[in-house]
């Protein structure tokens, strides 16, 4: 999860997020190179009175500074489109979970099971145990098996919400009357935190999302216990 004074992204916990981090670094290097070149040209123009007459009217330079930006845009667009299609790809999910946004909590329904669902509220500060995070911990976590494709169906019952977990590279709007879907694969076990990312009212800041990725055996044990309690 994020920590104070952090400048970069959270550590990736899914293949898609790893691709997004690589694309970010790729685009940032291009921005650095362009910025350096522009800064050098500005300094050179300001610090010298010499003028190159071949630059004042040159067809070759016109071609270069037209073609070069086009090539740079292609170098940015191609990996961007690739990741965009990867994020939309949902192949044979092992588990489907419906996440419903409410004011101001989330409810989860494991649609592959007959009666497995629960509401997830933020844990009040007074009830936190040592090691839990204020405003980020929930009383019921969304437990998923690691290294398995998970499909999330996202909707809302009242106003706009947004189901977002940065370390998994997932963000999907929850729109009343509309069912959106997204998918992820948790590549390692752990607890991953997110928050509603669409301003949804007075307690918008108090509806966290907690995803716990566990090995398949532990997930089966957890689901059995939840079904018995239901």
The per-residue pLDDT for range 76-124, each reduced to its tens digit, is 999 999 999 998 888 889 999 999 999 999 999 999 998 899 999 999 9
> CATH number of the domain at 95-229, please?
2.60.40.420
Average pLDDT of the chain is 92
Band (pLDDT 50/70/90 cuts) for residue 15 is very high
Check residues 179 and 230 and name the one with the higher pLDDT.
Answer: 179
Q: pLDDT at position 96, please?
A: 95
Does 34 have pLDDT greater than 70?
yes
Question: By three-state DSSP, how is residue 14 classified?
Answer: coil
Which pLDDT score, from 0 to 100, does residue 197 have? Answer: 93
Mean per-residue pLDDT, 157-170: 94
What gap in Å lies between CA 131 and CA 64, rounded to an integer? 57
Class of domain 15-88: mainly alpha
CATH 1.10.287.90 positions along the chain are 15-88
> Please, which residues have CB within 8 angstroms of residue 194's CB and are 6 or more apart in sequence?
163, 164, 165, 166, 168, 170, 208, 209, 210, 211
Q: Tokens for 75, please give them.
A: 């170098």
Kindly indicate the confidence band of residue 46, based on its pLDDT and cuts at 50, 70 and 90: confident
Residue with tokens 């239901």: 230
pLDDT at 228: 85
For a pLDDT cut of 70, what percent of the chain falls above it? 99
What pLDDT shows up at residue 45?
A: 84
pLDDT band per the 50, 70, 90 thresholds, residue 25: very high
The tens digit of pLDDT for each residue in 184-207 reads 999 999 999 999 999 998 999 999
pLDDT at 222: 92
Q: What pLDDT score was predicted for residue 230?
A: 63
Mean local confidence (pLDDT), 126-148: 93
Phi, psi of 102 (to 5 degrees): -130, 170
Residues of the chain with CATH 2.60.40.420: 95-229
**Phi (first) and psi of residue 32, to 5 degrees:** -60, -45
């Amino acid at each position: 999860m994020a920590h104070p004074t952090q400048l970069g992204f959270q550590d990736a916990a899914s293949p898609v997020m790893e691709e997004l981090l690589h694309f970010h670094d790729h685009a940032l290097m291009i921005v650095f190179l362009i910025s350096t070149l522009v800064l050098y040209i500005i300094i050179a123009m300001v610090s010298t009175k010499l003028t190159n007459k071949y630059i004042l009217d040159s067809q070759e330079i016109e071609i270069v500074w037209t073609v070069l930006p086009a090539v740079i845009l292609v170098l940015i667009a191609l990996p961007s489109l690739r990741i965009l299609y990867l994020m939309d790809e949902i192949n044979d999910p092992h588990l489907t979970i419906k996440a419903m946004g409410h004011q101001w909590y989330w409810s989860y329904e494991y649609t592959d099971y007959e009666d497995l669902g629960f509401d997830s509220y933020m844990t009040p500060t007074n009830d936190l145990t040592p090691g839990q995070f204020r405003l980020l911990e929930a009383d019921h976590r969304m437990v998923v098996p690691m290294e398995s494709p998970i499909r999330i169906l996202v909707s809302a019952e009242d106003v706009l919400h947004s189901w977002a977990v940065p370390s998994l590279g997932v963000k999907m709007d929850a729109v009343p009357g509309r069912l959106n879907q997204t998918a992820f694969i948790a590549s390692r076990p752990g607890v991953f935190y997110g928050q509603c990312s669409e301003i949804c009212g007075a307690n918008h800041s108090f509806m966290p999302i907690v995803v716990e990725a566990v090995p398949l055996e532990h997930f089966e044990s957890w689901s059995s216990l939840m079904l018995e309690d239901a």
